[in-house]
């Protein structure tokens, strides 16, 4: 055994050194003492098997990686603390990536210029037209600490930023600030945007085929295509929508085949292929997976230049080891783990996995290859390639399955077959797209023809994903809620949502947040918890509560919705009214009902319905006031209602009593007046409290006052999401997501 291990280490020294560093760094994040013990034990084993030089090399690499990571993290933390303590001010810096737009706002990593911390990376939240990588931005605003994950199951954005070396978040306010784009940056942006347009020239826009081509070729997220994205996710083929190592490898293969056809030798082909893969990575936005794969391809192809046999594991090890020596925090990014993990799994397990499909590659019994006809030989070669492809796909699926289950709570066995079916189509799409770009300046009609053919391939790719996602048992969630829960989510910029879900799987949403919050925070949370709401109640015609309209029924199995009004200026509400019935969603008006049935025997009582004709009235003045009755407990949802609505309720003489008030914040009017709260008589309040924009921030004195009155206030700026559950003895258990605190209330 030791001889085989020694031989493996001799053949792949860079790979085993990288794995050693991965183990030490990974254990160090959990237990530094355990990391030290493991480092010494593994080094001692290496000394015994391969001598002291290998052990010393391992220890040196691990020491450098840990030291560099510790120093970088210390500098990041110190800069972040001082920036966040500095309050409001001005900032200036250069974008390191293209900005990502979400509605009226954009965000991007920015390296600061000037000031007390030049060179520090911050996450810039701005408004207006999104700038491109390399642009200089400046603005007035305030620094905030990195955000914490504020809802169960949602993407931990703060951890993701931390692992990328981001020190703080800069909120640039509502003013767009200034953006300076150097000439070189402008030229690069025009080239990338030209590529974006050329690969779909001749196709209708917007269209499904154009969106898929852009997603597959340059990694652009499809517009209004969340249902399509969900199909690729559930079929285990979502990686084709991100420019990753797969895309770079396919581009290199396309270039290799083209140069081989032209008679170019291997050594000379490398001189062309290395710039090609880096140019592709740059043109598609310099995404980290693509850049890593470009370097890996360079190392792999470099063996031909030096007349050596290429080794995939050593190429992987060289790039991974360099990345860890540069910044070990990268190891904790899910994308990095999946990129390197899948390549390692293919290199190590593709051979054994292919043996599972050897029966497909065997020639006909008693028929030697030399005696096969042309069609019999082609059929045999096709089966051999298919067996090899299935082996690689099985190895990749086995390598990615544990990480996908851990990070996303999803298992997709159908990906083994779907991956094999989709890979040739993606190869064809990339080849046609590159050919189209190459000939577009010379033969525009030919470029458009290639794009139209590519559009057909794109629809076939979508068909494979949709078929794979529809296969029974092809995918399933690994986590599921097992108790009845009322969860109040905590989103940004005044967006709000709540979910009431029962143990038997039934669930209802009360508001859906704004579109970004719905797509990127609420839906991932529901998916990770295994909750599938089929009904929605919207409290008032505000885009920050309606989920953007169509995405709600595209991503969730919604069958019915209760709307506060049927006439509104909000595009999201108009989308519900005009398009939801076409998708099979039944619409009810809140004013037509006194109560609505809820899961687990609960009911939602309508205490106040807004004026359906007051279209010109502000959305926060058209709020439906709702009271949830659940096994003896009462929850009053006031949403963003102001004093005008509260006075109307008080003047009506209705019974407003409740155990818990769940309230948002009116943008202009006062809310939660003393007289109103006294009429409700709550024992607890759940209050939204957002730092940005300033209108959504609550005054500290307001929360302190209600606490002084004996009311337990759950300030969502501190608690994040708040979950209510009933215990066996009838007590109400309240859980704060951020702090982890639990509070219990007994029935009166």
**DSSP symbol at 640:** T
- Cβ 110 vs Cβ 138: under 8 Å: no
Lowest mean pLDDT among 160-174, 383-397, 615-629: 383-397
Mean of all residue pLDDT scores within the chain: 86
Which pLDDT band holds residue 712 (cuts at 50, 70, 90)? very high
Residue 28 vs residue 497, higher pLDDT: 497
Task: Report CA-CA distances (Å) from 680 to 342, 571, 607, 657.
Answer: 57, 34, 12, 4
Lowest mean pLDDT among 80-94, 132-146, 217-231, 587-601: 217-231
Could you tell me which residues are beta bridge partners of residue 93? 112, 137
Phi first, then psi, for residue 198 (nearest 5°) are -70, -30
Share of the chain above pLDDT 70, in %: 96
Which pLDDT band holds residue 339 (cuts at 50, 70, 90)? confident
Ramachandran region, residue 223 (left: φ > 0; alpha: ψ -120 to 50; beta: rest): beta
Task: Tell how strand 732-736 and strand 742-745 pair up.
Answer: antiparallel
Lowest mean pLDDT among 302-316, 442-456, 671-685: 302-316
Which pLDDT band holds residue 225 (cuts at 50, 70, 90)? low
Mean pLDDT along residues 110-114? 90
Mean pLDDT along residues 541-555? 90
Task: Report CA-CA distances (Å) from 412 to 149, 239, 693.
Answer: 26, 13, 40
For residue 536, the model assigns a pLDDT of 97
- The CA distance from 32 to 26, in Å, is 10
For residue 717, the model assigns a pLDDT of 92
For residue 194, the model assigns a pLDDT of 82
- The CA distance from 712 to 133, in Å, is 47
Which pLDDT band holds residue 737 (cuts at 50, 70, 90)? very high
How is 706-735 classified by DSSP, letter by letter?
HHHTT-EEEEHHHH-SEEEEE-TTSPEEEE
Which pLDDT band holds residue 176 (cuts at 50, 70, 90)? low
Judged by DSSP in three states, 111 sits in strand
For residue 701, the model assigns a pLDDT of 87
Task: Please say if the pLDDT value at position 1 is more than 50.
Answer: no
- The CA distance from 329 to 161, in Å, is 11
For residue 224, the model assigns a pLDDT of 56
Residue 321 vs residue 486, higher pLDDT: 486
Which pLDDT band holds residue 282 (cuts at 50, 70, 90)? confident
Phi first, then psi, for residue 318 (nearest 5°) are -60, -45
Phi first, then psi, for residue 219 (nearest 5°) are 75, 20
Mean pLDDT along residues 522-534? 90
Give tens-digit pLDDT for 389-411.
777 777 777 777 787 777 777 78
Task: Please say if the pLDDT value at position 205 is more than 60.
Answer: yes
Phi first, then psi, for residue 250 (nearest 5°) are -65, -40
Give tens-digit pLDDT for 33-43.
888 888 888 88
For residue 700, the model assigns a pLDDT of 79
For residue 358, the model assigns a pLDDT of 78
Q: Which helix (H) or strand (E) holds 92?
A: strand 88-95
Mean pLDDT along residues 477-484? 79
Share of the chain above pLDDT 90, in %: 32
Task: Please say if the pLDDT value at position 11 is more than 50.
Answer: yes
Residue 352 vs residue 702, higher pLDDT: 702
Give tens-digit pLDDT for 688-711.
998 777 777 888 788 999 999 999
Mean pLDDT along residues 636-656? 93
- The CA distance from 520 to 611, in Å, is 32
Give tens-digit pLDDT for 53-87.
888 988 998 899 999 988 988 989 898 888 888 76
For residue 589, the model assigns a pLDDT of 92
- Cβ 334 vs Cβ 340: under 8 Å: no
Task: Please say if the pLDDT value at position 366 is more than 70.
Answer: no
- Cβ 503 vs Cβ 600: under 8 Å: yes
For residue 710, the model assigns a pLDDT of 94
- From the list 497, 483, 745, 736, the residue with the least C-alpha distance to 634 is 745
How many C-beta atoms lie closer than 10 Å to residue 706's C-beta? 21
């Amino acid at each position: 055994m030791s001889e085989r291990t020694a031989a493996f280490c001799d053949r792949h020294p860079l790979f085993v050194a990288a794995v050693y560093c991965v183990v030490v760094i990974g254990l160090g994040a959990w237990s530094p003492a355990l990391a030290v013990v493991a480092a010494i034990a593994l080094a001692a084993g290496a000394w015994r098997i391969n001598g002291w030089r290998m052990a010393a090399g391992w220890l040196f690499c691990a020491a450098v990686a840990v030291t560099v990571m510790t120093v970088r993290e210390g500098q990041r933390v110190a800069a972040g603390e001082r920036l966040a303590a500095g309050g409001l001010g001005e900032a200036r810096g250069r974008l390191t990536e293209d900005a990502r737009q979400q509605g009226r706002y954009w965000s991007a990593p920015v390296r600061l210029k000037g000031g007390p911390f030049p060179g520090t990376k911050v996450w810039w939240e701005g408004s207006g037209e999104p700038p491109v990588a390399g642009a200089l931005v400046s603005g007035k605003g305030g620094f905030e600490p990195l955000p914490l994950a504020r809802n169960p199951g949602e993407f931990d954005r703060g951890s993701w930023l931390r692992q990328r070396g981001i020190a703080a978040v800069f909120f640039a306010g509502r003013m767009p600030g200034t953006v300076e784009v150097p000439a070189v940056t402008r030229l690069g942006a025009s080239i990338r945007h030209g590529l974006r347009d050329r690969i779909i020239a001749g196709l209708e826009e917007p269209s499904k085929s154009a969106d898929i081509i852009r997603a597959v070729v340059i990694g652009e997220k499809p517009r209004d295509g969340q249902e399509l994205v969900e199909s690729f996710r559930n079929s285990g083929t979502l990686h084709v929508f991100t420019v990753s190592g797969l895309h770079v490898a396919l581009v290199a293969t396309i270039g290799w085949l083209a140069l081989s056809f032209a008679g170019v030798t291997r050594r000379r082909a490398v001189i062309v292929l290395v710039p090609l893969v880096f140019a592709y990575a740059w043109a598609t936005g310099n995404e980290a997976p693509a850049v890593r794969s470009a370097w890996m391809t360079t190392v792999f192809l470099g063996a031909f230049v030096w007349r050596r046999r290429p080794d995939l594991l050593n190429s992987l090890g060289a790039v991974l080891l360099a990345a860890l020596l540069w910044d070990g925090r990268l190891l904790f990014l899910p994308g990095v783990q999946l990129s390197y993990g899948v390549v390692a799994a293919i290199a190590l397990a593709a051979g054994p996995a292919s043996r599972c499909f050897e029966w497909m590659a065997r020639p006909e019994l008693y028929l030697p290859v030399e005696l096969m006809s042309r069609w019999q030989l082609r059929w045999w070669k096709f089966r051999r390639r298919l067996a090899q492809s299935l082996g690689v796909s099985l190895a990749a699926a086995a390598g990615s399955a544990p990480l996908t289950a851990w990070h996303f709570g999803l298992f997709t066995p159908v990906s083994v077959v779907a991956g094999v079916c989709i890979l040739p189509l993606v190869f064809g799409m990339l080849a046609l797209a590159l050919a189209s770009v190459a000939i577009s300046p010379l033969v525009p009609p030919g470029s458009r023809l290639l794009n139209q053919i590519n559009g057909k391939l794109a629809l076939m790719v979508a068909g494979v994903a949709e078929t794979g996602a529809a296969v029974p048992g092809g995918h399933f969630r690994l986590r599921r809620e097992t108790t009845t829960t009322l969860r109040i989510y905590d989103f940004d910029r005044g967006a709000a949502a709540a979910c009431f879900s029962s143990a038997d799987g039934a669930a209802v949403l009360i508001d859906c947040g704004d579109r970004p919050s719905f797509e990127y925070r609420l839906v991932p949370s529901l998916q990770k918890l295994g909750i599938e709401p089929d009904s929605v109640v919207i409290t008032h015609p505000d885009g920050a509560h309606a989920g953007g309209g169509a995405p709600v029924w595209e991503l969730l199995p919604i069958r019915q919705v209760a709307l506060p009004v049927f006439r509104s200026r909000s595009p999201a509400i108009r989308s519900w009214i005009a398009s939801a019935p076409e998708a099979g969603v039944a619409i009810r008006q809140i004013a037509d009902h006194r109560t609505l049935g809820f899961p687990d025997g609960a009911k939602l009582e309508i205490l106040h319905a807004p004026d359906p004709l007051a279209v010109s009235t502000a959305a926060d003045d058209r709020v439906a006031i709702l009271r949830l009755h659940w096994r003896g407990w009462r929850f009053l949802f006031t949403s963003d209602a102001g004093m005008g609505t509260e006075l109307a309720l008080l003047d009506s003489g209705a019974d407003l009593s409740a155990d818990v008030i769940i309230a948002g914040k009116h943008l202009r009017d006062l809310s939660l007046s003393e007289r109103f709260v006294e009429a409700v008589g709550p024992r607890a309040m759940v209050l939204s409290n957002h730092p940005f924009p300033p209108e959504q921030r609550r005054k500290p004195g307001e929360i302190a006052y209600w606490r002084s009155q004996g009311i337990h206030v759950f300030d969502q700026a501190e608690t994040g999401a708040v979950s209510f559950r009933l215990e066996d003895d009838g007590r109400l258990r309240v859980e704060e997501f951020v702090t982890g605190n639990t509070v219990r209330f007994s029935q009166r």
